[in-house]
Structure 1
Amino acid sequence: MLSLTTTVFSISKAQQADSAQRWCDYMGEVYYPLDCTPLDPRSFEGSLTALQLSNLGISKFTADALRTVRRQQLSGTEDVVFIFPTREREHFGHLGIEDDVGPGEMYVLNSSEPYWTQIANKTQNVTIKVPANCVRERFPLLDRTYGRRDIANAGMVPIVAQLALQTFNMVPLVDQQVLKRTEDNILDLMCIMLETRNVSDVPESTTVALSDITFQRLSSFLSLHFRDPGLAPEHAATSLRVSLRYVHKVYQMHGTTFGRELMGLRLREADRLLRAPYGKNALPLPISEVAYICGFSSQSHFSARYKENFGFTPNERRLSLSEDTA
């Protein structure tokens, strides 16, 4: 029988009395005993949603600046904690190693050894807790991963994190057998993620398939946001919960760049607007407005890039269209 428990806990600025202690107590319920110290207890806010399956404990975490310490444990169970930052970087120290990781990366901690983590305001992550023996029987080299970065296949990190998040949505819709299979699949994928740390370890077909999925997601992101003049690769990485390095790598694998794809979308939409028919009594959109709508910072920049791509200026395009309809 699958053990299934879902709990939600949150602290707001209106609930500051003993907030640090109550947050610490709830973290202890979800994970194990921890010491939590908010940077500013008077304004600290956080929320934690936890799902406990048979072996896996999955949580969605959002919190303001906080330092968390795990003390040395003389006895008790040994759990492994996989932490996937999805917003802001996280600093940590474990087994004499200090490092930091950001969205699209992950790190692993052993509950039986002391460690600390430190986060900034509005940090978000996905955390998966699992008994160490469940991982070690699938991945014997587990002990070499604790407290280190660059220990996982970068292409699989967001896939594992997203699958864990989707499990929350599945709970009210599927039966326990499906959830059990999902739990086993997440555990298997986590171990494969660690086993295939080096790109050379991953079959080419798998690498390409993962990059194709990410490329499609990036294309969808650009289609939704290309009108934002400040759009940058960092925004895509944050939205997709992958590293900036992996975003650039995916575009490179597809023979293009973020900037080239973004410019192509903007120019195609601008050309569509310039060619759009308008009624007898209606005026065409001013070229400056077309530039603004399509995310260009200025009309001069728009005109230069448009001519570079199509061979004539926006004004020349519009004149040629008016001559054709005369």
Structure 2
Amino acid sequence: MASLMASNGTDRDMQWSSSNLVGNPALSAWNTVMSDHVAEMTIDSGERSTFEARWKRYGLGPIDIHNFRTAEQTISRTAAMVRRHPDEVYALSYMQQGSAAVVHAGINVHVPQGSFILVNHASPYSFSFPNGAVALTAHMPASWLRRWVPQPETMLVKTFDADAWGGALAAMLSTIDRNGLDDAALPRSCIADQLGAFLALMNGNVTAGESLHQGKLFKRAVTFMKDRFDDPDLSPNMLAAELKISKRYVHKIFAGHNTTFGVELLGLRLNHARDMLHDARFAAYRISDVAYACGFTDPSHFARKFRDKFGLAPLALRHDT
């Protein structure tokens, strides 16, 4: 992935066009240019024989602005690519023309024309542009973005309309696309700060409560834990890998529901143990067998936690059944 240096950014200005190429050579060259100068990805198109694309990049202080004009295409950034280039860079795309189908962090979302979407290059994603597109995209290092949006994870895989402050941001990106930056009256780093301010205003109060994205991830997390609670090795790292998010964000989605991974996992295990102790089919199980079947590795620890939750020792509850 191209480095986003803390400079004026003019040294990163670049443009490319397929105008001198035809068909498959154009698509092949497009793959190379995007992976070398934007982010490692694979691109395919149903219009291989007639594929066309144009790209322009402006360095804007610590961030980059990309203007993409392309025929129908599907972009994929895989887990292997993320491992090779794990830099946490966020990409905010404005669909000036055309729509996109996006898959990111296990969530599918349709991005209509005139809308924004944010993805994180540190997680796999795919974009499909069924009718081609003009997409104006800001690539922002996480360290810079958090100055303006302290919790950018809450904005991931959500669509934002280009109205109110979103309209101001869309107008800014469209002006850069149309006029360039050679005659800009302000230093590029100042323009980048203006973009950050518009993004913070567009985000509004999203971070104040549960986002749709967090809600969906929380439901998926709990479902996965219900299926795997008996695994003694179940951990936040394992859950993060399943949801394709960071361990830090795992803890955040639980905190957004006023709980923790540990609390939820312990509750699932203890509730299942109680059900087993009530069930005559497991009458032959020793208390240690019940503990192991529910993911506990220490029967004594299980007995203490069981008594704390239900007010009875496991054996006493079985005898009361």
TM-score, normalised to structure 1, is: 0.55
1:22: which partner in 2? 29
Counterpart position of 1:88: 98
For the residue of structure 2 that corresponds to 1:76, the secondary structure is: coil
Task: Give the SS at the match of 1:21.
Answer: helix
Contact 1:153 1:194 in 2 (8 A): no
- Map of 1:139 onto structure 2: 149
Other-structure match for 1:103 = 113
**Residue 17 of structure 1: how far off its partner (Å):** 4.5
The TM-score normalised by the length of structure 2 is: 0.56
Identity %: 15
Aligned equivalents of 2:40, 2:130: Cα separation in 1 = 21
Partner of 2:67: 60
Alignment of 1:128-207 (within 5 A): 128-150=138-160, 154-167=163-176, 169=179, 171-174=181-184, 178-196=187-205
Contact 1:86-1:102 at 8 Å conserved across structures: no
Structure 2 unaligned spans of 5+ = 1-6, 208-321
Q: Return the offset for 1:179.
A: 2.2
TM-fit CA distance, 1:197: 5.6
How far residue 16 of structure 1 moved from its aligned partner, in angstroms, is 2.6
Counterpart of 1:78?
Answer: 88
SS of 2:13 mapped into structure 1: strand
Shift of 1:19: 1.9
Aligned CA-pair RMSD: 2.2
Shift of 1:33: 0.3
Q: In the alignment, is the contact (CA less than 8 A) between 2:34 and 2:40 conserved in 1?
A: yes
Measured in 2, the distance between the counterparts of 1:180 and 1:6 equals 14
- Distance in 1, matches of 2:153 and 2:115, equals 18
Shift of 1:120: 2.3
Instruction: Indicate whether 1:2 and 2:24 are aligned.
Output: no
Where in structure 2 are the equivalents of 1:155-304 lying within 5 Å?
155-167=164-176, 169=179, 171-174=181-184, 178-196=187-205
**Distance of 2:37 and 2:165 partners within structure 1:** 25
Query: Residues 52 and 115 (structure 1 numbering): CA distance in 2 closer, same or farther, change over 3 Å?
Result: same
1:14 deviation in Å? 4.8
Match of 2:298 in 1: none
Superposed structure 1 runs of 4+ greater than 3 Å apart: none
Q: Tell me the alpha carbon deviations over residues 205-226 of structure 1, each in whole angstroms, 9 at most, x when there is no partner.
A: xxxxxxxxxxxxxxxxxxxxxx
SS in 2 for 1:50: strand
In the other structure, the counterpart of 2:128 is 118
Letter in 1 for 2:137: T
Contact 1:78 1:132 in 2 (8 A): yes
Alignment deviations for residues 207-251 of structure 1 (CA, whole Å, 9 cap, x no partner)? xxxxxxxxxxxxxxxxxxxxxxxxxxxxxxxxxxxxxxxxxxxxx
Q: 1:46 aligned to 50, 53, 75, which one?
A: 53
1:62-115 Cα deviation digits (max 9, x unpaired): 111100001121253110000100111111100011011122211100000000
Q: Partner of 1:193: helix, strand, or coil?
A: helix
Report the Cα offset of residue 49 of structure 1.
Answer: 1.1
SS of the aligned residue for 1:82 comes to strand
Deviation at 1:174, TM superposition (A): 3.7
Aligned to 2:164, the other structure's residue is in SS state: coil
CA drift of 1:122 comes to 3.6
Q: Secondary structure at the match of 1:18?
A: helix
CA contact (8 A) 2:44 2:75 kept: yes
Instruction: Report the 3-state secondary structure (helix = DSSP H, G, I; strand = E; otherwise coil) of the residue aligned with 1:137.
Output: helix
SS in 2 for 1:48: strand
User: What CA distance in whole angstroms lies between the structure 2 residues aligned with 1:24 and 1:96?
Assistant: 24
Equivalent AA in structure 1 for residue 189 of structure 2:
K
Q: 1:29 to 1:164 in 2, by over 3 A?
A: farther
Structure 2 residue identity aligned to 1:26: V
SS in 2 for 1:180: helix
* Residue aligning to 2:41: 34
